[in-house]
Amino acid sequence: MRMHSGRLEAVEYSIREIEDFARNYAAKHGVKLRYLNIGDPVKLGMGALPSVINSAIKSLRDGNNFYAKSDGADVAREAIAQFYDRRGMSVRAQDAYITSGVTEAISMLYLSIFNRGERIALPKPYYPLYDALARLYGIKPVFYNFDEHGFPDINSVKDAVKRRAKAVVVINPNNPLGSSMPKSLLDEIKEYVLSSSATLISDEIYSEMVYDRGMSYALRNNEDDKVIVLSGISKLFRVPGWRIGWAVFGRHRSLKGVVDNFRKLMMLRLCSPTPFQHALPHILSSLTDAYLRNYMGLLKRNAKIVYRKINDSSVLSVNQIHAAYYAFIKMGWRQKSINFVKDLIKRRGIVVVPGVGFGMEGHFRIVFAGNRRIVSENIDEIVDEALKHSH
Ligand code: PLP
């Protein structure tokens, strides 16, 4: 009898798997690595504000080190309701559930919604976790596409819904495309999905991280919405290691059973980290215009460099970037993305993620948070390497 299970045979996770390859190669050949593969601003020199850190220290000192309620600490749920309230959306605290990051929320949602063999509509390119967990749980993805601006193609979303998807995932602002949907498009998608029997899952982990236009939120008023919003503090407040996220459920009757399942799963894992939950009221209310201007200003300047240098090269191209810190770069020659990415590691020590990990060959994703000069130099090297490969 084989000791290990076969459950993970179909599961791949290239964001982190490529890092294993890079580390092994670097250890063997003494290459110094530059990590442009993980969307962690802290690793790229952009840590949290001191007041955010202090709120967690205070919470630890105040003794918030017990198991919190499984659904989440009341103060944290209230803080989330207020966060949306300040943005003109009405959310009841008891409809917000605190999870160990959006990551845990996705996993619990999948188990709460889908039986084996049922379908989910996912964006392509996707955030790899959505595909990996679908494989793990035996859920069948049907994919919808994006146009050249990095926006979901509405007809393709409609087709996916017609193929009997039980839920449709939108990621807005988008990883890996760095795009952010205009409100009119999001509303159109929402209206279509809600007029079917499907539910809309809106991953808003990059909420507020838009450079110019405003953020388009999926939830307006959770009174009767068949919408589930996932969000958290990892990216906006630059504390991904704290593992605090949330799911807000619309109060449509069809979601009642989903919430019951979700709450059961929450009990099975006790709670998400209590000290950080208790710091949440301070963290969420500390979001100032100045902080956002600063953070987005830096990312926008970096995005401009990436956009210009990539599109000026004759061999690479990228769509307009309006949000977050990702660029999904198209290779203008025929090569497997994993092979190019491995060469980039071997010859330059630059680690990026092959497009195949997002379900799209012929691309790779970079993260461009951090110091502008370093970003610019990294892009120059990537372009240099691309030029060598394309000839
Ligand atoms: N959803 C998307 C689209 C992401 O890009 C990420 C992280 O990169 C996550 C979810 C995970 O977020 P969290 O840190 O809250 O688990």
Non-local (6+) Cβ contacts of 76 within 8 A are 68, 98, 244, 277, 278, 280, 281
* Alpha carbon nearest to ligand 1 atom 10, residue: 102
Residue 2 lies in a domain: no
Closest residue by Cα to atom 7, ligand 1, is 39
Same domain, 103 and 22: no
**Ranges of the chain whose pLDDT falls below 50:** none
The domain boundary, picked from 221, 250, 285, lies at: 285
**Which ligand 1 atom is the nearest neighbour of the CA of 15?**
8
Ligand 1 center from residue 125 Cα (angstroms):
15
Residues 249 and 367 in one domain: no
Residues 150 and 65 in one domain: yes
What count of other Cβ atoms lies within 10 Å of the Cβ of residue 312?
10
103 located within any domain: yes
Residues 217, 89 contacting (CB under 8 angstroms): yes
Ligand 1 pocket (Cβ < 6 Å) reads 39, 101-103, 127, 171, 175, 203, 205, 232, 234, 240, 245
Nearest-atom number in ligand 1 for the CA of 234 is 14
pLDDT of residue 14: 73
Residue 272 has a CB neighbour count (10 Å cut-off) of: 26
Residues in the chain: 391
State whether 202 and 87 are in the same domain: yes
Among 257, 285, 313, give the residue marking a domain's end: 285
Q: Which atom of ligand 1 is nearest to the CA of 324?
A: 5
Which pLDDT score is estimated for 222?
A: 59
Of the residues 15, 170, 175, which should be mutated to test ligand 1's pocket, given the most ligand atoms within 8 Å of the CB? 175
Range of the domain at 31: 14-47+289-390
**Cβ-Cβ contacts under 8 Å for 25 (sequence gap 6 or more):** 31, 345, 346
Non-local (6+) Cβ contacts of 71 within 8 A are 77, 97, 98, 263, 266
CA–centroid distance, residue 239 to ligand 1 (Å): 12
- Using CB atoms within 10 Å of the CB of residue 387, give its burial: 0 to 12 exposed, 13 to 18 middle, 19+ buried: middle
pLDDT digits (tens, 9 = 90+) for 78-120: 999 999 999 999 999 999 999 999 999 999 999 999 999 999 9
Q: Are residues 58 and 78 in the same domain?
A: yes
What's the Cα-to-Cα distance from 328 to each of 306, 360, 381, rounded to whole Å? Answer: 11, 10, 16
Closest Cα to residue 273, out of 43, 106, 101?
Answer: 101
Cα distances (angstroms) measured from residue 360 to each of 125, 187, 219, 339: 6, 26, 29, 14
Nearest CA-CA partner of 323 in 293, 352, 299, 302? 299
Residues 219 and 250 in one domain: yes
Q: Give the pTM.
A: 0.97
CA 104 to ligand 1 centroid distance, Å = 10
Q: Kindly state whether residues 40 and 165 are assigned to the same domain.
A: no
Mark whether 112 and 134 lie in a shared domain. yes
Mutate to test the pocket of ligand 1, among 104, 124, 127 (most ligand atoms within 8 A of CB): 127
Phi, psi of 30 (to 5 degrees): 65, 35
Q: Which amino acid is at 346?
A: K
> Distance from the CA of 388 to the center of ligand 1, in angstroms?
34
Tally of domains within the chain: 2
Q: Do the domain assignments include residue 97?
A: yes
Residue 346, classified by CB atoms within 10 Å of its CB into exposed (0-12), middle (13-18) or buried (19+), is middle
Nearest atom in ligand 1 to 233's CA: 15
Closest atom of ligand 1 relative to the 127 alpha carbon: 3
In a shared domain, residues 32 and 69: no
How many whole angstroms from 205 Cα to the centroid of ligand 1?
Answer: 6
Q: Are residues 148 and 72 in the same domain?
A: yes
Residue 39 C-alpha to ligand 1 middle, in angstroms? 8
Rounded distance from Cα 325 to ligand 1 centre (Å): 13
CA atoms within 13 A on the CB side of 300: 12
* Residue 311, domain CATH: 3.90.1150.10
In a domain, 86, yes or no: yes
Instruction: Please report whether residue 154 resides in a domain.
Output: yes
CATH number at residue 156: 3.40.640.10
User: What's the gap in Å between 114 CA and the centre of ligand 1?
Assistant: 21
pLDDT tens digit string along 182-197? 999 999 999 999 999 9
User: Is there a single domain that holds both residue 203 and residue 306?
Assistant: no
Closest residue (by CA) to atom 12 of ligand 1? Answer: 102
**Host H or E run for residue 375:** helix 372-390
**Ligand 1 pocket test target in 14, 107, 235 with most atoms within 8 Å of CB:** 235
Do residues 90 and 37 both lie within one domain?
A: no
Residue 128 lies in a domain: yes
Q: Is residue 180 part of a domain?
A: yes
Copy the structure tokens of residue 300.
């926008």
Probe target for ligand 1 pocket from 102, 206, 236, 366, with the most ligand atoms within 8 Å of CB: 102
Question: Which of 205, 231, 235 for a ligand 1 pocket mutation test, highest count of atoms within 8 Å of Cβ?
Answer: 205
User: Of 242, 270, 285, which marks where a domain is finished?
Assistant: 285
Ligand 1 midpoint to CA 2 (Å): 34
Q: Could you tell me if residue 76 is inside a domain?
A: yes
Hey, which residues does 201 pair with through a beta bridge? 169, 228
DSSP, residue by residue, 183-246: HHHHHHHHHHHHHTT-EEEEE-TTTT-BSSSPP--S-SBTTS--EEEEEESTTTTT-GGG--EE
